[in-house]
Structure 1
Amino acid sequence: MLKNYFKIALRNLLRNKLRTSIHILGLSLGISIVFFIFNVIWHAYSFDRFHPDRERIFRINTLTEWDMGESYPTPGTNGPLGEVIDSEISFIEAKGRIYTLWEVLTLVPEGNRVLGRSSEVTFADPGFFQIFPRKWLAGNPASALEKPLSAVITQSNLEKYFPGVQPLDALGKELVWIDADTIRAQVTGVVEDYTENSDFIFKDFISFATIQTEEQKEWYGLHHWGNVNSSSQLFVKLEEGSDKNQLEASLAAIVDKNLEKDDQASTTFLAEPLAEMHFGETYSGTSVSKVFLNGLVYIGLIILVLATLNFVNLETAMAIGRSKEVGIRKTLGGRRWELIYQFLVETYLMVLSAGLIGLALAELIRNLFSSYLPTGFVVEYLQVSNLAFYALFPLILTVLSGIYPALILSSYQPVRAIKGERVASTGFSLGVFLRKNLTVLQFSASIAFIILVLVLQAQLRYVSSQPLGFEKDAVMYAKLPFMSDPDQMLRVQQLMNQESGVSGASLSGSLVSSNSLWTSDAWIPMDTTEKQIFTQVMNADSAFVAVNGIPLLAGKKSTNRDDEILVNENFLKEAGYLDASAALNQTIRFGGEERKIVGVISNFHSRSLREEIRPLLLTYNPRFFQTISVKLQAGQNLAQAKLALESRYKEVYPYESEEFHFLDEAIGEFYQEDLKIRNVLTAATFLAILISAMGLFGLSSYTIAQRTKEISIRKVLGASVIQILSLISREYVILVMVSFALAIYPAYYFLKDWLAGFSYRMDMPFGLFGVAGLGVLLLCLLIVGLHSYQAAKANPARVLKDE
């Protein structure tokens, strides 16, 4: 019996190849998107799910809120909290402290080998391995990180540092890490690497006890309750029966007990569940936004719904064509449930075929969007979750897309069905009503997607065309080794200036425009009192203004003195100076010292155009320079200039692998996430339009075919081709207009929130809304017009000869 169902289903599908092709192609697009997004989300939620008792593990985050409305969340905590939390909170089973190190130079004294820089190094205490246990290949888990200058390494780094050495033989060997200071430590343990997805990328664990002197604690910012450093992180594991709310209430009590009251700022410690860590700040920068994931889910569901609507729409439209088949089968004793089963088998065959094509399309999508995907992401087709997807999703989709057409087809009355009638003639047809509304939903989604893409593109063009207040062209930069010797940095600068194609080189703490943000307070003398200003601070040398082309409005550039500062126009406004000349030579208090304003520069965008320009001062502190910027002369061969600069850089830092980059590319990265959203929406728009167009093509070709006799009669009675085209198209114009009306608000709602994230934004471009609606209308008229024109040009004599 089952074999017969599949035979009949296959014959019916092959009999109408156009209908079958449209269904399979539309469904395959929907399935490929859903399958791909399913794997992306499964991958994102798979991180650090393998740790025992993970639901009881939390990372402590810090939220600092200022009275002017700004807030600064960070996954870091101050040092003293890590020292007292387990004694202050009774239900903490274990605590683990780490202090992450960035771009640390690693050396192996044995063989005098320099292995380059690594960001997989951290200080850790013994409690860290209690919360996140690993398999130990050598060493004692309880004592390996107890003493200062001891270290635990992973098996992969053991093979890199000491090739061919067994874990037990590695114990006692020495490693050196060069950060702000030189750390020499002995290997006291070797652990296995994680094979599962994890945000804990560390491979070298230096004992936290190595930070032992007050001077070291102060250097790492661990000495005071008021210091919060994102590198200093704290994990806790709660006892069974305790929860997040209890933990945060206890943390609030610690704040009240230990932090001084401040009218301008407040500090809150928050408990972040381990399962949420991948969606916050991670150590490798591979975090995923839950908003972005939810957006992918919505896009996937919309595309799948459009493909499903195509199926339902076309099947219900073609139901009249199978009414005689149903009538005959019922007359011969066929029962309704058997007919429903037959139609569902046909649907299942189409879904199954679409699924196979969809898997191939999913791999194509993965290759096209590889740059948008997490590092290491692959579609594992044979993993359990995907096998479950293959088994269950076709069945679910078969029921969702096939049950309504099956119910409609199986409900025909035999006598009327054999006559070619479906139901008694009435003024209302549920099938026609549904087809029109399903078509409206398809067009609404397509129009909304087009509006989103057009407006996102227009806003990104707008911000890229705005003056930044500095010159970004022909400027290259490179990072300097952390805490490099100031003499070495000056030497690099001198070598850069000696290059023939270089007009100037500057040392600074950060680029002229970056995501870096250093804020502090400045105190302006006001008669007998002082006025406090919350200001942005940039650390730069005397060449910074000229190299970056920032206009100097008054005074002079600094002379590399730590008691001289430059300020911008917004600083003048906040300080209350009437003009630039009034501020010159004024003395303010900053960083606990008196500083003299020697120059005033124009406002420039030191961060993205999502933010307003802050009051800014430029100070000079050569110990903390981290960047060298080089302005090239016009007409240079950029590729050759890059090689020449890197060669000079290597003369001073032979062990570094840093390359020079272009400033304009770094600024373009401000809007990488927006570009990703735009490109993903563009792809979704293309698919939505393609699926809707295919559905309209199949539907219009069938429905117009049903009206060929009507069209022929109208031609015989004198109707012109234009009149016939107008008659048939009028209905679709109305449907597109309704679709446009429904698409406006969802698109506006999303765009209003997105544009609100930019301090510098264009007005809502309602004209682009009309462009989107007009574009879909033209596409609709083109598809319907082609079919209508063919029908209108047909010879009435041939069509009406059997009447």
Structure 2
Amino acid sequence: MLRNYLKVALRALLKNKAYSFINIVGLATGMAVTMLIGLWIWDELTFDRYHKNYDRIAQVMLHQTWDGHKGTQTAVPVPLHKELKAKYSDFKYVVPSSWNFEHILSYKDKKFRKRGSYMGPDAPDMLSLNMLKGTGKGLLDPHSILLSESVAKALFGDEDPINKVIRTDNKTEVKVTGVYEDLPANSELAELSHIMPWNLYVIVESWVKNSETEWHNNSFQTFAMLQPQADFDQVSAKIKNVVLNHDPKDQAKPEVFLHPMAKWHLYSEFKEGVITGGRVEFVWLFGIIGGFVLLLACINFMNLSTARSEKRAREVGVRKAIGSLRQQLISQFLSESILVTLFAFVLSIFLVEACLPWFNELSAKKLTLPWQNPVFWIIGLSFTLFTGFLAGSYPAFYLSSFEPVKVLKGTFRVGRYASLPRKVLVVLQFTVSVTLIIGTIAVFRQIQFAKERPIGYTRDGLVQIDMNTEEISKNYEAFKTELLGSGVVASVAKSSGPITDLWSNQVGFDWKGKDPNKQALFGVVAVSADFGKTMGLQFVQGRDFSASFATDSAGLVVNEAAAAYIGKKNLVGETIKWNGKDYTVLGIIKNVVMNSPYKPVDPTILTFRPGWSNVITMRIEPSVSTSRALAKIEEIYKKHDPGAPFEYKFSSEEYGRKFASEERVGKLATFFAILAIFISCLGLFGLASFVAEQRIKEIGVRKVLGASVFNLWGLLSKDFVMLVLVSLLFSIPIAWYAMSRWLERYEYHSSLNWWIFAAAGAGALAITLATVSYQAISAAMMNPVKSLKTE
């Protein structure tokens, strides 16, 4: 029986090649999109599962309250890890960690900048690193280092790296005691290319040693792993006041809590101390889009199958007349649907494989099809059967319901409302498609809106270099002098952090007339002379720091947000106390966007402390080509720091990274919107050709009676245009609601102007007309003599 069903189904497909092509290509496209989204979602949901104990690992974090608002941060004080380990038995491991910054690794003539951290000795066991050589216990030796496999290969080639000595940051020699497998891309610690002992950090950095007893210096990270029976919420409640107990008068009321690794990737956004979401929103978004795109493809199959019902009515009548049961007919039509979806599944596999490199680049992933995983094939075939049943269910039940007597007597008519379900499904298709178009426009408009926001400095031509070594710090003045004399650099300055990020927030500020209820948390950037000139800061009042004034070491420059917070109109010349010391305000600058371009600018203070510097920033002369300038800068840099590789970053590119997540979402949404439109138009093309074929005699009569091609085109296109107009009535309010909610996530956001909806609607209408016009005009131009001939 099944063999007969498949044989008949194959004949039906070969008999109607055009409709079969549309069905298979439409379904394959929908299935390919769903498969790509499925791979993307699986990658997101399995983040950090490489670490065997991921369900017991957490980051120790802090809530702090400032001016009535609770903020959340990953930075914690150093002594916290010792107290947690010593006083709470719920923890198996508590691991202190630096930030994952770039460090210079040198071996013979090879030098690389790689991201790595100083971590406690239990880190390899906690993270369940797969040690390929040596042992993770090597971190017990303060002058050791663990390397990832790729870094070990880059440094040593085929040599055995164990016990080899390398230099870090041109100042410390360490011995390689272990090599671990590279962490996968879907790990939050994927860029952890090397680990150095925490005790080495304490030895080489005096400020870290001084921080070991400072409970107010939140400059470090701490990770922990619980005992098997411990609960995150219960342990968080126990340790909540650990920091506060060391200073009950702390106005910030710090609250310690555990943020589980299982939530790091998907639930990373906090508001007023409560998790409000994160990338999980994208998982839901793309999951819904994938479902709808597949539904669009299934709708095409349903529409084309029911539209051709009259063609198959006689077949149903004959089958019923010779004894076929309705259940058998349903099985027949479902087998046809499943055969189509099997062909579509095979095609979709090839489409996914062809698109994966491009899709990976677009989504910043490293996805692959798991060819050898039986679960993939079980899910794929189950997915195919489900799609086949979904796509073929309505046609099967609809076609099998025809009455054989009426069909065979020639009195069968599909009825005036027979096309209603098809029209409803077309409306649904374009509702989804237009909603995606509006969403895509809104996303890119929001990105552009943020990009055009005044940022308070001139980023073009700015080049920044990290100060990883002592040599460049000692030789800074000579390096600066030679750069300025080279003719390729207009100005140079150094600072504690890049202009594109705010690394430090400080308290302890006071001024005359200060509200005692204000807690005064300011972002702080330590800078050298001419910082404002180099960055192109815009001074509203006062002046920049200058090496000509020795008193500038006791001066401050504040941004407009800080001046507004302080609440004085003429702040220049006023005195501000910071940790009991008097500072004079030298100038006020326009707000500089250093953190998120979608949020208000933080009140920020610049302080003249060249010794705190970590970054050198220089402005290239506008008249000099970038390539020539960089070559000269590299030459001078290697002269003053020969042991370090010359690596630089453009401030404009670093600022552009702030939009990477939204741009990625926008590009993916565009991709899905285009495919949704393609699938919808594919169905429209099939329906238009069927309608034109069905009304061929009517068109011939009208043409004989004098109807023009334009009249006939309008006649055949009118119904489809009306369906799209109806879909706009649904898609516009849905898109407005969804995108309004999405934009509310950003404090600094664009508005949903009327033209966005008008443009999307006009685009949908234009695409519809372009799709149906070919069939309509072809039918209208046909010779009426041929169309009016009887069989």
> Do the two structures share a fold, i.e. TM-score over 0.5?
yes
Match of residue 263 from structure 2: 276
CA separation of 1:674/1:578 partners in 2, compared to 1, >3 Å: closer, same or farther?
same
Match of residue 71 from structure 1: 71
Q: After superposition, where does 1:13-32 map in structure 2 within 5 Å?
A: 13-32=13-32
User: CA offset at residue 376 of structure 1?
Assistant: 4.2
Match of residue 317 from structure 2: 327
Match of 1:398 among 388, 410, 435: 388
CA separation of 1:473/1:383 partners in 2, compared to 1, >3 Å: closer, same or farther?
same
**In structure 2, what is the Cα distance between the partners aligned to 1:651 and 1:376?**
40
Say which SS state the counterpart of residue 240 (structure 2) adopts. helix
- Decide whether the 8 Å contact of 2:66 with 2:519 is kept in 1: no
**In structure 2, what is the Cα distance between the partners aligned to 1:209 and 1:764?**
54
- Decide whether the 8 Å contact of 1:540 with 1:619 is kept in 2: yes
- Decide whether the 8 Å contact of 1:131 with 1:237 is kept in 2: no
User: CA offset at residue 453 of structure 1?
Assistant: 2.3
CA separation of 1:517/1:573 partners in 2, compared to 1, >3 Å: closer, same or farther?
same
Q: Does 1:45 align with 2:45?
A: yes
Q: Match for 2:684: what amino acid?
A: L
CA separation of 1:362/1:288 partners in 2, compared to 1, >3 Å: closer, same or farther?
farther
CA separation of 1:688/1:760 partners in 2, compared to 1, >3 Å: closer, same or farther?
same
Q: Does 1:236 align with 2:217?
A: no
* Bigger shift: residues 512-521 or 390-399: 512-521
**In structure 1, what is the Cα distance between the partners aligned to 2:377 and 2:514?**
76
**In structure 2, what is the Cα distance between the partners aligned to 1:591 and 1:501?**
41
CA separation of 1:69/1:418 partners in 2, compared to 1, >3 Å: closer, same or farther?
farther
**In structure 2, what is the Cα distance between the partners aligned to 1:98 and 1:609?**
28
Q: Does 1:769 align with 2:742?
A: no
Say which SS state the counterpart of residue 553 (structure 2) adopts. coil
Q: After superposition, where does 1:622-633 map in structure 2 within 5 Å?
A: 622-633=610-621
User: CA offset at residue 438 of structure 1?
Assistant: 0.7
CA separation of 1:279/1:492 partners in 2, compared to 1, >3 Å: closer, same or farther?
farther
- Decide whether the 8 Å contact of 2:472 with 2:641 is kept in 1: no
Q: Does 1:497 align with 2:488?
A: no
Q: Does 1:338 align with 2:325?
A: no
**In structure 1, what is the Cα distance between the partners aligned to 2:293 and 2:421?**
19
CA separation of 1:174/1:679 partners in 2, compared to 1, >3 Å: closer, same or farther?
closer
User: Gaps spanning 5+ residues in structure 1: where?
Assistant: none
Match of 1:681 among 652, 660, 669: 669
User: CA offset at residue 597 of structure 1?
Assistant: 1.8
**In structure 1, what is the Cα distance between the partners aligned to 2:632 and 2:561?**
39
Match of residue 281 from structure 2: 291
Match of 1:371 among 361, 368, 378: 361
Say which SS state the counterpart of residue 225 (structure 1) adopts. coil
User: CA offset at residue 678 of structure 1?
Assistant: 1.8
* Bigger shift: residues 293-302 or 691-700: 293-302
Match of residue 446 from structure 2: 459
Normalising by structure 1, report the TM-score. 0.87
Match of residue 411 from structure 1: 401
Q: Number of residues paired by the alignment?
A: 778
**In structure 2, what is the Cα distance between the partners aligned to 1:33 and 1:310?**
16
- Decide whether the 8 Å contact of 1:98 with 1:128 is kept in 2: no
- Decide whether the 8 Å contact of 2:53 with 2:126 is kept in 1: no
CA separation of 1:238/1:677 partners in 2, compared to 1, >3 Å: closer, same or farther?
same
**In structure 2, what is the Cα distance between the partners aligned to 1:237 and 1:51?**
14
- Decide whether the 8 Å contact of 1:105 with 1:116 is kept in 2: yes
Say which SS state the counterpart of residue 523 (structure 2) adopts. strand
CA separation of 1:130/1:653 partners in 2, compared to 1, >3 Å: closer, same or farther?
same
Match of 2:337 among 329, 337, 347: 347
User: CA offset at residue 754 of structure 1?
Assistant: 3.8
User: CA offset at residue 71 of structure 1?
Assistant: 1.9
Q: Match for 1:233: what amino acid?
A: T
Identity rate of aligned residues, in percent? 26
* Bigger shift: residues 307-316 or 701-710: 701-710
User: CA offset at residue 312 of structure 1?
Assistant: 1.2
- Decide whether the 8 Å contact of 2:236 with 2:258 is kept in 1: yes
Instruction: Provide Cα deviations, 1:724-752, integer angstroms capped at 9, x if missing partner.
Output: 54444443333222211111123222322
**In structure 1, what is the Cα distance between the partners aligned to 2:620 and 2:116?**
35
Match of residue 740 from structure 1: 728
**In structure 2, what is the Cα distance between the partners aligned to 1:106 and 1:342?**
68
**In structure 2, what is the Cα distance between the partners aligned to 1:161 and 1:762?**
48
CA separation of 1:613/1:17 partners in 2, compared to 1, >3 Å: closer, same or farther?
same
CA separation of 1:200/1:770 partners in 2, compared to 1, >3 Å: closer, same or farther?
closer
Match of residue 585 from structure 2: 597
CA separation of 1:138/1:751 partners in 2, compared to 1, >3 Å: closer, same or farther?
closer
User: CA offset at residue 676 of structure 1?
Assistant: 1.5
**In structure 2, what is the Cα distance between the partners aligned to 1:32 and 1:91?**
47
**In structure 2, what is the Cα distance between the partners aligned to 1:462 and 1:96?**
42
Q: After superposition, where does 1:629-668 map in structure 2 within 5 Å?
A: 629-668=617-656
Say which SS state the counterpart of residue 358 (structure 1) adopts. helix
- Decide whether the 8 Å contact of 2:28 with 2:348 is kept in 1: yes
Q: Does 1:576 align with 2:572?
A: no
- Decide whether the 8 Å contact of 1:521 with 1:533 is kept in 2: yes
User: Gaps spanning 5+ residues in structure 2: where?
Assistant: 270-276
**In structure 2, what is the Cα distance between the partners aligned to 1:131 and 1:485?**
35
**In structure 1, what is the Cα distance between the partners aligned to 2:534 and 2:98?**
36
Q: After superposition, where does 1:100-249 map in structure 2 within 5 Å?
A: 100=99, 102-107=101-106, 115-126=111-122, 129=125, 132=128, 134=130, 138=134, 144-146=138-140, 148-149=142-143, 170=162, 174-178=165-169, 182-185=171-174, 189-190=177-178, 192-193=180-181, 198-201=187-190, 202=192, 204-210=194-200, 216=206, 218-219=208-209, 221-229=211-219, 231-240=220-229, 242-249=230-237
Say which SS state the counterpart of residue 69 (structure 2) adopts. coil
Match of 2:555 among 561, 564, 575: 564
Normalising by structure 2, report the TM-score. 0.88
User: CA offset at residue 347 of structure 1?
Assistant: 1.7
Match of residue 85 from structure 1: 84
Q: After superposition, where does 1:455-604 map in structure 2 within 5 Å?
A: 455-481=442-468, 486-514=473-501, 516=503, 518-520=505-507, 522-526=509-513, 533-560=520-547, 561-579=552-570, 583-604=571-592
Instruction: Provide Cα deviations, 1:705-734, integer angstroms capped at 9, x if missing partner.
Output: 223334445556666655554444443333
- Decide whether the 8 Å contact of 1:131 with 1:236 is kept in 2: no
User: CA offset at residue 304 of structure 1?
Assistant: 1.1
CA separation of 1:49/1:4 partners in 2, compared to 1, >3 Å: closer, same or farther?
same
